[in-house]
Amino acid sequence: MNKQLSGIYILWKREVIRFFRAKSRVVGTLAMPFFFLVILGSGFSPNYPQSGGERYINILAPGMICMVLLFSSIFSGIRVLMDKEFGFLKEIMVAPISRISIMIGITLGGMTTSIIQAFLLLGISLLLGAQINLYGIPTAVLFMLLISASFVALGIAIASKMEDMHGFQLINNFLVMPLLLLSGALLPINFGEWNFITYLDPLTYGVDAMRVSLTNTPGMPLWLDFAVLAGFCAVCILAGAFLFSQRD
Amino acid sequence: MNVIETNKLTRKFNGITAVDSLDLEIEEGEIFGLLGPNGAGKTTTISMLCTMLKPTSGSATVNGFDINKQQDEVRNSIGIVFQDPSLDDELTAYENLDFHGMIYGIPKDTREQRIEEVLELVNLSEKANLQVKKFSGGMKRRLEIARGLIHHPKVLFLDEPTLGLDPQTRNNIWEHVKKLNESEKITIVLTTHYMEEADSLCDRVAVIDHGKIIALGTPEKLKQSLGGSIISIEANSTLLPQIKKIRKIKEVYWANGRISITAEDAEHLIPIIFELAQKNGVEIHSISLHHPTLEDVFLKLTGKSIREEKADAFDRVRMRIRSRNR
């Protein structure tokens, strides 16, 4: 048991070391939401009808936090493929620890680095004038944990089924972008009678929870958000664990 | 005592047999070489012994543990240096070693001490805190060898340890392998398709082709089995029956457009061969004499050269990929 724990710890630590060593990458991932906040935020700001009198940045900032969580979490999972390409995965796979421990280590590492980035963006949002409810932060962290765990695990599940990084663009265009756009992270969307589609996107509940807890925007009840995300998270983790332990 | 024993070990890929009923015994403390061309089944054999790949049939024990049933015990008993680089370039040398120590569950005190030791062993102590991406190919290889030793394995597997390295670095790696075989009393199993490597490094060599062992013994014995030096003649094959009549000759065969003659007193045969050629009106384009190498052993056993054109092209691509990653 001790061996499994020390394995999980070092896998986590490796993710964190690599994160802090790659400052340009961090700047790269935060640049996009930053520009969205500044540019979209300024354009829509004055009288946005669907905001119910809210300032647009208060709606956009929680959405951008979800976007950062989505991108960096799913990428942390898929990075397993890069480890494969550079050979390091073999070093991990031949070690005497279980596949489940390996997956837990990678997942915790990806969650940590994603949430650090989410907090960096939260800080940026504050500087840009978003009105963040500081008492809502503990609730928001709970949802950040759920969102990041789900998508790291989903990334690992996908990576276990892929041979190399060539499919990455497909994943980006056909999974990550739809998940983001349908969630209403950028703007609230309305498809009329087709609107149920947005409720099939698990990230919709993450965005909703983040808005409710961080900027007091009216939305769905938090228990519903929690229930849906917890269910999604469980499915992703099971799928990831199953597929990852299958690979050879 | 045998530290590795295989019993009819077999692996098939989509109906193609990569390793064919392999029976092998490797003694504790020896440097054992698996020599053969690319695609002979060397890496597949090692992968199975390291529990990275399940055998299709047959079994094997490593350090007394069954590779099918006692995976974790086997993994704790072995260190491995893969054919392709497997370091994290973003981490420092020390961090790479620390990662290994942690994932093998070695307690902090022993781990730190052991990292110092293995770094010392491969002369990388001064580079400990340098990021691996700044290392040269040879330094990375040495670091990988050091890493494989941290958890005191009984057996160290080296899969093509010097592929893609320049001759000087290759010699340097050989020195290190010999040194650690003595100082750590560790059994080393290496695969290679470099004859000189098998010859100068290994106590015993198994020549492997198409998944089967075709010869086994010390390099000396394998070479002696050829029965003397070799004369290689580039000439029309019509000369072959004439040469066969010379009494002192042990063996004559035709391979790769050349006549190969094996004889103990080969130097004195050359004038006789010229005489024969002249008598029969056959032109000799070139002639060479050399003392047997493992290459000749392979050539004799399989009728082909160990490094064929195809394998070379494959090697070049592989080296290009390696130099990109290294």
Q: Note the ipTM here.
A: 0.90
Is there a contact between A19 and A113 (Cβ–Cβ < 8 Å)? yes
pLDDT at B305: 73
- Kindly report the nearest CA distance between residue A104 and chain B, in angstroms: 13
Token pair for B47: 């992968």
Confidence (pTM): 0.84
Distance from CA of A90 to the nearest CA of B (A): 7
Cα torsion through A153, A154, A156, A157, rounded to 10 = 120
Contacts of A91 in chain B (CB under 8 A): 82, 86-87, 99-100, 147
Strands B204-209 and B212-217 come out as: antiparallel
Q: Are B82 and B190 in contact (CB under 8 A)?
A: no
Per-residue confidence (pLDDT) for residue B89, from 0 to 100:
93
Name the token pair of A123: 């800080």
Mean pLDDT along residues A157-186:
90
Mutating which of B102, B131, B159, B326 best tests the A interface, going by the most A Cβ atoms within 10 A?
A: B102
Residues (pLDDT < 70) of chain B are 306-326
Tell how strand B2-13 and strand B258-263 pair up.
Answer: unpaired
* Angle, in degrees to the nearest 10, between helices A99-127 and A2-21: 40
Q: Which amino acid is located at B169 in the chain?
A: T
Q: Residue A3: which of B99, B105, B325 has the nearest Cβ?
A: B105
Q: Which of A117-126, A223-232, B303-312 has the lowest mean pLDDT?
A: B303-312
Note which residues in 21-80 of chain A have CB less than 8 A from chain B: 21-22
Q: Residue A240 pLDDT more than 60? A: yes
Q: Compare CB distances from A87 to B84, B104, B147 and report the shortest one's residue.
A: B84
Q: Which of A9, A18, A21 sits opposite B102 (nearest CB)?
A: A9
Is there a contact between A201 and A179 (Cβ–Cβ < 8 Å)?
yes
Q: How far is CA B238 from its chain centroid?
A: 37
Average pLDDT over residues A67-90: 93
Lowest-pLDDT range of A18-22, A68-72, A100-104, A244-248: A244-248
pLDDT at B103: 94
